[in-house]
Structure 1
């Protein structure tokens, strides 16, 4: 029977194992003990778990890592590239691959930035003041509004990159290309409005841009016909539009006065505030529907037909879902002190 090792020696050996010493390194300090004996005691102390290896010492201190984590959260460091610049500044050279690995181990992961509307400094105060003036309105109050806007829909789709899937190199096939017409910005501008009763009649502008004259025709046809269809009373119905130049021109103001609309309410909208207008979400849904077609429209008239077909598929419930979000939008602008919001 093997004679047991004194308890003091066992404690010394256990301490060395805890410091990640190897069997051979410990044996050099206890020459009368064989490797098999040391291995048996390691198993006694730690079971079958493997001894942790010390690994390479980190170049960064705890203070460095705390600084990086804090400044990634508050945006002072712009992702791995910003971290690399900081490390270079303090004399540490590290590859982007290692930086990404460290950040992921710390729980950081990349996310797509939320696209927001740009707001000039002078308009932040105006947005905040407008939101505070309207913070008392309820969803029933907002349902008396009609939210309008225009959106551009391109003939050739969005400007984003398109991809195709393949498993072999071949000559380009039709589905692997995306046709472009040099100098061609073909597309249409579509005007619409959402109300608590449903969607308005839409107007598609196929040529040119929306100026005061074109806008007056849109109002004459689409707005007036929608007002008549739903039986809206101009004294209680509130028409919303943004501050685009055709919307606020002298000719447009004269049109509103002539047709009995209150300019004080029509023109009461803060600049650079698409995040306050619920119809922006409708444009997003409309374009998603158009992108589901297996082929792209090849003519302006075909594109116009598709837009009208998808526009009139929206329901009253769709309108209410977005209009009823107005109190949340107002509160978001107040919380951001007039800065852009997630809406």
Structure 2
């Protein structure tokens, strides 16, 4: 009898070991997701790209949510990774490993048609691009496939390690964002008397001879192009925005801006004291006609908004 019990015990242990080794049953906690790696497939390996969209061997687009899951034995490897959490008032940045390559004028990947980082199938089917994304993540918890996407937050870099060299790349990206204060929104308080000068790092370059990009997409009623103070890069570029220092500045408020897309430099407002006027010399705008008249011998004056010395001075007050 004792021998039978021992044999049964050994059999149970062997069965449990086989189940564990085969990956037949897998439990995913509710605070994590499972990234599926298919080891064997009758459809072969991925022919192009990185994610297996058609059942090939390789990383699969869908993730497993919390609970028990059954698989064909020895066919899958499941990588348990945490849910991505962006704290209140913080910003998360996304890097895509697979997708279409960036175009020559792009520094960041477009999210016009591919903006759902929780649906890899949708992202890739709709032309999602690889590399750092224009779209940022706001506060919340996300179930993201960390084989396809890397999410960089202030405290954590969320990703499934695939190569030792990747760690250094993502840390450098995080350091750059941190140097630019990119994990927090831009906050300008009224008492500070500051304005934010914006420099855009994506999109077409300025024409030859221009040093300041003109204001575009600042009309709230035009929803297709209103970028809400550089918080929507796609609408900014659709409106004809260009890279470089911008004529439009930021005034008091809170702005969730992708600092890989645009950086912000704080400068004091221009103050004209009582009893004085301000003479404006503009380095941007159209070349205007000289309004100074024949009797004025000290240079040329142009209409407000043109390039040159404006004929209308600034009266006492504060100007952004």
Higher relative contact order (CA 8 A, sep 6+): 1
Please give the TM-score of this superposition, normalised by the length of structure 1: 0.23
More helix by share: 1
Please give the TM-score of this superposition, normalised by the length of structure 2: 0.24
More strand by share: 2
